[in-house]
A and B are shown apart, each in its own frame.
Chain A
């Protein structure tokens, strides 16, 4: 049984932040949960899906975040508690719906979890989603610990029900993906009866009424949250410096103050209810200091909101020096870290900590002894490498400098040498197809560069289908290449509408991408990208003379999935007698250009080598070796 459904109130267990969020939802009696996978939020729904049957809840991996929000909202307007989770990009997708839902309000409980990815570790962008709460006039909570992650979700549902609107909780990577102790609460036995009251339609029009109602609900939330225990003060009563922080900055700040021996001089005020601000709590502590330093991740949201509060209440408050991102003491982008906070506190207080400059270098030396230096790369045997190789060859042969538009997914690495730098754009889900659709219609301006886009199979369903509809209608001359690895690989292999099972493991009818393309009238071809010559020829042929959109589905299972299911297809080895290595006629094509991590260069022997532990046995390298020195044999 999953630890998430332990019905042992008071028991303390180790949970990942996202597990704590899922547990909080269960303790709040969540009935419906939906999301489109996106790190660092993915494990929330993943964990809820695993316990869906036992807990009698409905969980789905939706086609995209907007639909996920709408599915959850359907429950939340029907007297149920629902949760929708997303990463920062997903919020943008769901935004249109949510900025209507806030005006109509709900008739149950709805918590929107947005997990931001400071520094864009697993994202195309870096974005501070907290501004959305201000835009939407909805409450925003920010957990600083794993216990809070659980409690805020639980209380978020309560707040949502009491105010009749949804509540946003902002997590960050270091909360969602780190682990800490969490004390469990009770799991509910009774749930509100689901019912949609048809006598009260939900419509944001006229806004002259609904917008006023929204502000009223927001005021109610402010009143409820003003004494929230999620806002905490730690330190001397009258500190010479007050650190105001939230999220991961809370634990980092306390640790840094302790290391610097500043406990008697510096206090920390943690804001858990980031919006609306706990005004009286903040004013009370601002009255007792002259210097304030803000620590928060990504944008100076808290910093600006407190500055706004200070301006509104300046007659009650002393002259205060505000420091943070705006003053340049704290970097304006990226994650917080203990080191960053130590440095900033040291600068402000004059209590600089001495770092061992050699330590980082020593650590690097030690690590390099174990791990070879590699740039970011597709996995060994990844079908995307073969697909992009074929596209590269085809575009070179075509000779018209074709443009390959891309988007975010594993294949975004195609903008790097591992994908032969073939992708020329990376933006949002499906935007490569959208841009290619546009570019494919610029022939009237004399553009003769072929227009191509790649998208993954999951992305195809998420955001590309409307592009195809548009392309057919506009007769755009572009080629959509669906890199179908039959997985939402980047986020952890969640099912998507092309999968035969749903999030809860139930069988479902997979949607066949090529059938969908053909139904729109697109000339559609399905190829195995491991058939390099055939794929090259097909791409060349499909882009040669276009009068409208076409689709090419390059289908080959993700190497990680196929490796687990059936092991290596081929045993691959190098024939050293044939390998001519650096000589003219090869110049290390396999290790210098093709760059599969399963191939390495033996500097002493001046021959290529197969790293059998890493090689996934796809056998594609055997087909590119000009000397036929790479030999593949059925495993």
Chain B
């Protein structure tokens, strides 16, 4: 596969559009000079809409992550700051991004634009041993590294700085494997993208939650610092996500419950289990989701995207079939990646039953409807568009 074809396929919008978005948002008011940071704070952070994706903290000395929160440290005078433009919660317009990635209009069917949905699993036992489901993400990312499709992978480690989950830059399959498994937290892991870019990597693959995928696509679209992000963010693997916990509160609760025991894996079985299973060195402990729900980030309650609709491929659990994943192939790059994985024997796939697809689509729609009821302005699978 020619790596130049991986990732962003269509033209991006000029950066002046980012500036226009900002001016349109403040139209008619004498606040057009409000700094991007202040707007981000007022519209996103102060309202609890920050999902801790990490897009802003990697780019700005005035925004930092701290125990799962995004904290504004000072004022900034830039009216066209990346913090606001790249934030998936500030505004998101699916149409230009769909055009850019899929070369077609946004498909408001429930799970977004896609070419094909498959059941998939890794063919490697050592990956299956550490994976959450079928090890598809680890296998695809590992193969992309091994084959040179990407030269670095930005993934989320459960053991980031300060003992909190966070983004890391991996350049080997082993590094990617070390990050396998769901974390169930907002981990600001996109801040590691800055490290990857500064290190000079030119073909970066990223595994992200739906909010992070949206942010990545905005980065590519606006590319405020001319970092050639269209090319350099070469591969985006999106994860299914219904919600994430606030990492500070979640880890505090887990530590209180589990003490110093080594945590091996978290799992949330499909309904009606209503529980979080914590696998430790001493076996599995169960925590009721009712107890954990207050720790869910407010931002997640207002996110309409369950399946990372703007990724190259999206991967989630295959309900009712342990050890397998649901794999949504969306972009041409995604299609080529999966084909290569199958041909290389890295991935085993099977057709995804129609009834399962219907169920997945309905679940995704349900999430959109919940959000739509909470925030009437949000509709069509995306937060209100202001442009």
Of chain B, the residue at the smallest CB distance from A588 is: B77
* A397–B76 alpha-carbon span in the complex (Å): 17
Pair B73/A584 contact, Cβ less than 8 Å = no
Pair B61/A396 contact, Cβ less than 8 Å = no
Report the minimum CB–CB distance from A534 to chain B (whole Å). 14
Interface string of A573-593 (1 = CB under 8 A from B): 000000000111111010011
Q: A396-B71, A397-B71, A399-B71 are in contact. Are A584 and B80 (CB under 8 A)?
A: yes
The answer to whether the Cβ of B81 comes within 8 Å of any Cβ in the partner chain is yes
Q: Would you list which residues of chain B between 304 and 345 have a CB under 8 Å from chain A? A: none
The answer to whether the Cβ of B225 comes within 8 Å of any Cβ in the partner chain is yes
Q: Would you list which residues of chain B between 17 and 75 have a CB under 8 Å from chain A? A: 36, 59-62, 64, 66-67, 69, 71-75
- A399 contacts across to B, CB distance below 8 A: 66, 69, 71
The answer to whether the Cβ of A305 comes within 8 Å of any Cβ in the partner chain is no
Pair B81/A584 contact, Cβ less than 8 Å = yes
Pair A396/B225 contact, Cβ less than 8 Å = no
B60, B73, B78, B80: the one contacting A393 at CB < 8 Å is B73
Interface string of A410-454 (1 = CB under 8 A from B): 000000000010000000000000000000000000000000000
Pair B64/A585 contact, Cβ less than 8 Å = no
The answer to whether the Cβ of B232 comes within 8 Å of any Cβ in the partner chain is no
- B83 contacts across to A, CB distance below 8 A: 584
Of chain A, the residue at the smallest CB distance from B65 is: A397
The answer to whether the Cβ of B236 comes within 8 Å of any Cβ in the partner chain is no
- B82 contacts across to A, CB distance below 8 A: 584-585
B60, B66, B81, B225: the one contacting A397 at CB < 8 Å is B66
**B: contact size bracket:** 20 to 34
Of chain A, the residue at the smallest CB distance from B224 is: A584
Report the minimum CB–CB distance from B265 to chain A (whole Å). 29
A584, A589, A593, A624: the one contacting B225 at CB < 8 Å is A584
B64, B72, B76: the one contacting A587 at CB < 8 Å is B76
Report the minimum CB–CB distance from A533 to chain B (whole Å). 11
Pair A584/B78 contact, Cβ less than 8 Å = yes
Pair B78/A626 contact, Cβ less than 8 Å = no
Of chain B, the residue at the smallest CB distance from A628 is: B198
The answer to whether the Cβ of A217 comes within 8 Å of any Cβ in the partner chain is no
The answer to whether the Cβ of A107 comes within 8 Å of any Cβ in the partner chain is no
* A512–B63 alpha-carbon span in the complex (Å): 38
* A587–B63 alpha-carbon span in the complex (Å): 13
Of chain A, the residue at the smallest CB distance from B60 is: A585
Interface string of A453-486 (1 = CB under 8 A from B): 0000000000000000000000000000000000
The answer to whether the Cβ of A270 comes within 8 Å of any Cβ in the partner chain is no
- B36 contacts across to A, CB distance below 8 A: 584
Pair A587/B77 contact, Cβ less than 8 Å = yes
The answer to whether the Cβ of A392 comes within 8 Å of any Cβ in the partner chain is yes
Interface string of B208-248 (1 = CB under 8 A from A): 00000000000000001100000000000000000000000
* A150–B82 alpha-carbon span in the complex (Å): 67
Q: Would you list which residues of chain A between 553 and 583 have a CB under 8 Å from chain B? A: 582-583
* A396–B76 alpha-carbon span in the complex (Å): 15
Pair B73/A392 contact, Cβ less than 8 Å = yes
Of chain A, the residue at the smallest CB distance from B36 is: A584
- B59 contacts across to A, CB distance below 8 A: 584-585
- B67 contacts across to A, CB distance below 8 A: 397
* A592–B71 alpha-carbon span in the complex (Å): 19
- A420 contacts across to B, CB distance below 8 A: 74
Pair B73/A587 contact, Cβ less than 8 Å = no
Report the minimum CB–CB distance from A345 to chain B (whole Å). 49
Report the minimum CB–CB distance from A608 to chain B (whole Å). 13
Q: A584-B82, A584-B224, A585-B59 are in contact. Are A397 and B74 (CB under 8 A)?
A: no
Q: A397-B64, A626-B61 are in contact. Are A587 and B78 (CB under 8 A)?
A: yes
* A365–B239 alpha-carbon span in the complex (Å): 65
Of chain B, the residue at the smallest CB distance from A540 is: B66
* A592–B35 alpha-carbon span in the complex (Å): 15
- B74 contacts across to A, CB distance below 8 A: 420, 589, 593
* A210–B76 alpha-carbon span in the complex (Å): 66
Of chain B, the residue at the smallest CB distance from A393 is: B73
* A38–B225 alpha-carbon span in the complex (Å): 54
Pair B71/A585 contact, Cβ less than 8 Å = no
Report the minimum CB–CB distance from A330 to chain B (whole Å). 43
Of chain B, the residue at the smallest CB distance from A590 is: B61
Q: Which of B73, B83, B224 has the most CB of A within 10 A?
A: B73
- A589 contacts across to B, CB distance below 8 A: 61-62, 74
Pair A396/B80 contact, Cβ less than 8 Å = no
- A593 contacts across to B, CB distance below 8 A: 74-75
Interface string of A389-408 (1 = CB under 8 A from B): 00011001101000000000
* A598–B93 alpha-carbon span in the complex (Å): 45
* A592–B75 alpha-carbon span in the complex (Å): 10
* A589–B83 alpha-carbon span in the complex (Å): 16
Report the minimum CB–CB distance from B317 to chain A (whole Å). 34
* A584–B83 alpha-carbon span in the complex (Å): 9
* A592–B78 alpha-carbon span in the complex (Å): 12
* A420–B61 alpha-carbon span in the complex (Å): 15
Report the minimum CB–CB distance from B133 to chain A (whole Å). 35
* A584–B79 alpha-carbon span in the complex (Å): 9
- A584 contacts across to B, CB distance below 8 A: 36, 59-60, 78, 80-83, 224-225
- A587 contacts across to B, CB distance below 8 A: 62, 76-78
Report the minimum CB–CB distance from A401 to chain B (whole Å). 12
Interface string of A531-549 (1 = CB under 8 A from B): 0000000000000000000
Report the minimum CB–CB distance from B68 to chain A (whole Å). 11
Q: Would you list which residues of chain A between 127 and 161 have a CB under 8 Å from chain B? A: none
- A586 contacts across to B, CB distance below 8 A: 61
- B81 contacts across to A, CB distance below 8 A: 584
Report the minimum CB–CB distance from B58 to chain A (whole Å). 10
* A592–B61 alpha-carbon span in the complex (Å): 13
Interface string of A614-626 (1 = CB under 8 A from B): 0000000000101
Known: A399-B66, A584-B59, A589-B62. 6 other contacts (CB 8 A): A393-B73, A396-B72, A584-B83, A587-B62, A587-B76, A589-B61
Closest 6 CB pairs of A and B: A626-B61, A397-B66, A587-B76, A396-B73, A584-B81, A584-B78
Interface residues of B (CB under 8 A from A): 36, 59-62, 64, 66-67, 69, 71-78, 80-83, 224-225
Interface residues of A (CB under 8 A from B): 392-393, 396-397, 399, 420, 582-587, 589, 592-593, 624, 626
Offer 8 A-B interface pairs, CB within 8 angstroms, sorted by A: A392-B73, A396-B71, A396-B72, A399-B71, A584-B81, A585-B82, A586-B61, A587-B76
